[in-house]
Structure 1
């Protein structure tokens, strides 16, 4: 696809729009508008982000924003890309250490900007910042013997895990009416409720786990030990795949 056929939003994201030399110099730029929208979203959630509210924040009429951004949906896409910082440099790091850090930083970023979960919907990245994170993950896997498709699948699986964990932490007990009605404010509260709900005959394994204290002592929903446990399971699988490749084995082989 030639860039003159790219949607206007992608042209803006990648700085590929034709530059007009006519007319007065623009008062605003996309980074300024996007940063203002992110501030509003961080403070009020996506409900606080509209073309009117962003225009007010940057000091122009709402109609003036359409000179820079085609729609609110385009603005949301730009916001989701703009929050991504520079990824860490994989140079000199073992692939496993790097991907553990890479995944945790993505999870932490989403927890910092919880509204992004409503935008991304687990869609593949299109913006330059998020694609730079993909690039660095692929670079970290150089020399492992995995092919390019496998490297992308590894990055996708780790990103999915980061987003899923962040979604659970961000939403559990917050804004969920059933949780609020039941007085659930932490994982420990959730465990106590399950003790009451689960019939040991119908749910023998789950009942035994919660009665044995699986959720006991958890003051909140964020627990890095739990996050790292799941992450290590995934990375162990990647390590096994790399070992199979090194020995000439195939996926699913012995």
Structure 2
């Protein structure tokens, strides 16, 4: 017998699949109102300020009233991570490469605008309607490239991972990570100097030489836009090479 599959209840609600009740007054709460309040708190105070009690206070209900919509703080975070995402960029006639560059940058900027997402955005496939809309637009941008659907999804996942990693680095060196602040590291150059002082040239010959040569001094703390563009162009070049390989294989099959 095939295993029956269903979405978590909070995800069902994210898709608007609220149970319909015909009796009693219309509920004055909904998941959108709850997540909007939670996001406001997280933006102002970080995730430490988000609790069922604080959200309930923001929407002026008892904390127990929230459990009809979210069963736990973990479920609330799932809903918040999806609700925080705006509509994805529109293609507007752009090439696949130009669109995915804009698409990846927008994801990075979203994370920097809501840094608490860096603690929530676990590397799991998206299930909410907003995040899946972003995935849909990325796949649509790759139509006509010769990549199969699995390859298109892998491209989108790789670019999403890059946006997450870059945003985490930028946030950390901008004072978002107390460990970096404690070490006096405010940029890539500081990081390079710290490593140059601790690396043993015999155990780490290549890395030690790179740090001692000042390789990190040009990175300007990973905040400089050139660093982001360098990595993004590297990935897009790889995608373009993959598309060319697929086109060449297609030509061989047709001969």
Distance in 2 of aligned mates of 1:97 and 1:4: 38
Q: TM-score, normalised by structure 1?
A: 0.90
The match for 1:238 is 239
What is the DSSP-based 3-state SS (H/G/I as helix, E as strand, rest coil) of the residue aligned with 1:114?
coil
The match for 2:88 is 87
The match for 1:69 is 70
CA shift in 2, pair 1:189/1:151, >3 Å: same
Q: State the 1:221 CA deviation.
A: 3.8
The residue correspondences of 1:90-239 to structure 2 (distance < 5 A) are 90-172=91-173, 174-177=176-179, 179-216=180-217, 220-239=221-240
Distance in 1 of aligned mates of 2:177 and 2:234: 30
Q: State the 1:77 CA deviation.
A: 0.5
Contact 1:41 / 1:115 at 8 angstroms: preserved in 2?
Answer: yes
Q: State the 1:64 CA deviation.
A: 1.5
CA shift in 2, pair 1:150/1:89, >3 Å: same
Deviations 1:146-187 (A, max 9, x none): 11111111111111111112222223464343x333322222
Deviations 1:96-146 (A, max 9, x none): 000011111111111111211222211110000000000000000000011
Q: TM-score, normalised by structure 2?
A: 0.89
Structure 1: runs of 5+ lacking an equivalent: none
Distance in 1 of aligned mates of 2:182 and 2:161: 30
Q: State the 1:203 CA deviation.
A: 2.6
Deviations 1:178-233 (A, max 9, x none): x3333222222112222222233433322232222222265544122111111111
The residue correspondences of 1:1-16 to structure 2 (distance < 5 A) are 5-16=6-17
What is the DSSP-based 3-state SS (H/G/I as helix, E as strand, rest coil) of the residue aligned with 1:248?
helix
Distance in 2 of aligned mates of 1:219 and 1:233: 19
What is the DSSP-based 3-state SS (H/G/I as helix, E as strand, rest coil) of the residue aligned with 2:103?
helix
Aligned residue pairs total 249
- State whether structure 2 residue 56 is matched by structure 1 residue 55: yes
More divergent stretch after superposition (133-142 vs 187-196)? 187-196
Structure 2: runs of 5+ lacking an equivalent: none
- Aligned-CA RMSD value: 2.3
Q: State the 1:4 CA deviation.
A: 9.8
What is the DSSP-based 3-state SS (H/G/I as helix, E as strand, rest coil) of the residue aligned with 2:93?
coil
